[in-house]
Amino acid sequence: MAFLAGAALAFAGGLGAGGVVLRRIGTLQTAEDEAGDAASQAAGAKSVVFVLGGPGSGKGTNCDRIVKEFGYTHLSAGDLLRQERRSGSKLGDLIEEYIREGNIVPSEITVKLLLAAMEASGGSRFLIDGFPRNQANLDAWNAQVQDCEVACVLVLECSEAVMEQRLLLRGQTSGRSDDNSSAIKKRFRTHREETLPIIAYYDQLGKTRQVDSGREIDTVYADVQAVFRDLAAPNGTVAVDVKS
C-alpha cells in the first residue's frame, strides 16, 4: 500500500523473520478466527488493538498470551526503536543522534517503524503495547495511518502500589536501570499526565475496554480472553468493562 511503501523502504533490513518484536503465532486459532483473518486479508483490511496501562500493569505478560491464543502480530514501539537504533541504518543513526543529544525521538519516526513492521509481517491484526503514550504519538498515528482500524484499546488498570511492588521485584533480576523506586515514581507521573488523557480520548470514542490487572495472572487473563473473544465475534461491540 502506498502509505506504507516509504516506511517499508526506510525499515528494510531492520526486522528478521524470527525477530523478537514481530510475533505471529496462530496455532491455537479456531476455524472461525482463521476464516475471519483470511477474509480481512483478502479485503486488504487491517486492524489494531492498542494495549495501555501503567508500568508494571502486565502489558507484556498479557500480550504474550494473546498472541499465542488469538494469532495477533505483536509490536512494541520501544523494541522497534531499540532494534532500529542498533541496525546501523540511516534511520537508526538518526535515532541514535536524538538519544545521544538527550532529545525525544519524534513520534513520526516511531509510527514509521510501526507501519513498516506491520507491512513486513504480512498480518492483518496487530497488537501494539505501550502506544500511543502521549498526544504527540496519537497525532502522528492519526496523521500517518489511513487504512488501519483501531478495533479497541485494552486498558490494564492496576494500583500504583501493586505496580511498584511488581517492578521492584522485577528489578532484582532484570538489570533494568529504571526499575528503582525513584525512576518508577517518575514513570507513574508520566503515565498519569500523558497517557491517561489518551485513554480518555479513546473512551469518548467508545473504544476502550478496562480490565482490573491487579489480580492473579490467570484471573486477569480470563477477562482479557473475554475481550478478544468478543472482538472475534460477528458485529462485536466495544461496550463491556471487565472488572472484579
Q: Mark the binding-site residues for a ribonucleoside 5'-phosphate, compressed into ranges.
A: 82, 103-105, 130-133, 176, 187
Burial call 53-86: b when 16+ CB within 10 Å, e when fewer? bbbbbbbebbbebbbebbbbbbbbbebbbbbbbe
Binding residues for CMP: 137
Residue 69 · residue 28 · CB < 8 Å: yes
Dig out the grid coordinates for 119 from the structure.
507491512
Q: Residues 26, 31, 32, 38: is their CA dihedral positive or negative?
A: positive
Annotated binding residues: 56-61, 82, 103-105, 130-133, 137, 170, 176, 187, 215
Residues whose CB falls within 8 Å of the CB of residue 200, separated by 6 or more in sequence, listed in order: none
φ, ψ dihedrals at 140, nearest 5°: -65, -40
Q: Which distant-in-sequence residues (6+ apart) come within 8 Å of 130 by Cβ? A: 51, 52, 59, 76, 77, 78
Binding residues for ATP: 56-61, 170, 215
CA–CA separation, 109 and 95 (whole Å): 8
